[in-house]
C-alpha cells in the first residue's frame, strides 16, 4: 500500500485518448485557505497577522531563491521563494525525455504517468499584502517584471527545463 506521502506526490499524466499531458498534484489541496486574495483595505492597513509574505515574516516562508535588492542589509522589495505547496517538485527525479504530443514508441503504449518534476516558485511582488501590482509606480512594476525575467532566465539554464510558464 502506498504511503500517505507517496500519494501526495505530483505526477504528469498523459491522457490516453488525446495524448495530452496534464499535471496532477493532490498536495495542492493542502494549501492554507486564509491566504486567498482579498481586497486592499487602504494604504495604511496593517499587515494581516497570518500573512507569511509580509515583511518581517520571512522565516515562515519556504527557502528564498533571490531577492531585490540582493543586498541583505537593505529591506527587500521583491522576493522569489520556493512554493511550500508546489504543483511540480524539484526534489524528484526528472522523467526521461517525452515524445511529441500524441506520439508513443510503435511497440509500446508509452508512459501514462511520470513523476511531477519541475519548479513552482512564488514571486512576492511587494512586502505589503495590501499592495497589488497595479498599485506600484512604473519603476516598481518594471522591477517586478525584471524579477520574473531573471527567474525565467535561471530556469532556462537548467538542463532538463524545456518550458517556463509565468502566472503573475
Which residues neighbour 83 within 8 Å (Cβ) at sequence distance 6 or greater?
62, 120, 121, 122
* 129 in a structural domain: yes
Q: Which residues of the chain have pLDDT under 70?
A: 1-8, 33-48, 97-111
Q: Which domain holds residue 82?
A: 4-31+51-156
Cα separation, 71 vs 60, in Å, equals 20
| Distance, CA of 131 to CA of 126 (rounded, Å) | 7
Contact in structure between 123 and 155 (CB atoms under 8 Å): no
Looking at residue 9, its pLDDT comes to 81
Q: CATH number, domain at 151?
A: 3.30.428.10
Contacts of 141 (CB under 8 A, 6+ apart): 133
User: Does 161 fall in a domain?
Assistant: no
The closest of 84, 112, 77 to 98, measured between CA atoms, is: 112
How many domains does one find in the chain? 1
In a domain, 41, yes or no: no
Q: Is residue 116 part of a domain?
A: yes
Give the integer Cα–Cα distance in Å for 87 and 83: 9
* Structural domain includes residue 126: yes
Q: Is residue 104 part of a domain?
A: yes
CB neighbour list of residue 13: distance below 8 Å, 6 or more residues apart: 21, 22, 23, 24, 112, 113
In-domain check, residue 122: yes
In a domain, 71, yes or no: yes
Amino acid at each position: 500500500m502506498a504511503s500517505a506521502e507517496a500519494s501526495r506526490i505530483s505526477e504528469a499524466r498523459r491522457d490516453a485518448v488525446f495524448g495530452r499531458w496534464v499535471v496532477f498534484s493532490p498536495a495542492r489541496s493542502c494549501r492554507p485557505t486564509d491566504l486567498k486574495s482579498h481586497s486592499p483595505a487602504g494604504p495604511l492597513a496593517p499587515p494581516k497577522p497570518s500573512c507569511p509574505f509580509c515583511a518581517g515574516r520571512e522565516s515562515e516562508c519556504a527557502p528564498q531563491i533571490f531577492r531585490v535588492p540582493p543586498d541583505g542589509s537593505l529591506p527587500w522589495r521583491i522576493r522569489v521563494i520556493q512554493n511550500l505547496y508546489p504543483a511540480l517538485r524539484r526534489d524528484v527525479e526528472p522523467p526521461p525525455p517525452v515524445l511529441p504530443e500524441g506520439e508513443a514508441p510503435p511497440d509500446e503504449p508509452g508512459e501514462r504517468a511520470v513523476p511531477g518534476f519541475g519548479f513552482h516558485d512564488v514571486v512576492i511582488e511587494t512586502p505589503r499584502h495590501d499592495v497589488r501590482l497595479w498599485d506600484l509606480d512604473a519603476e516598481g512594476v518594471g522591477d517586478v517584471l525584471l524579477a520574473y525575467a531573471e527567474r525565467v532566465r535561471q530556469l532556462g539554464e537548467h538542463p532538463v527545463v524545456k518550458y517556463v510558464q509565468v502566472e503573475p
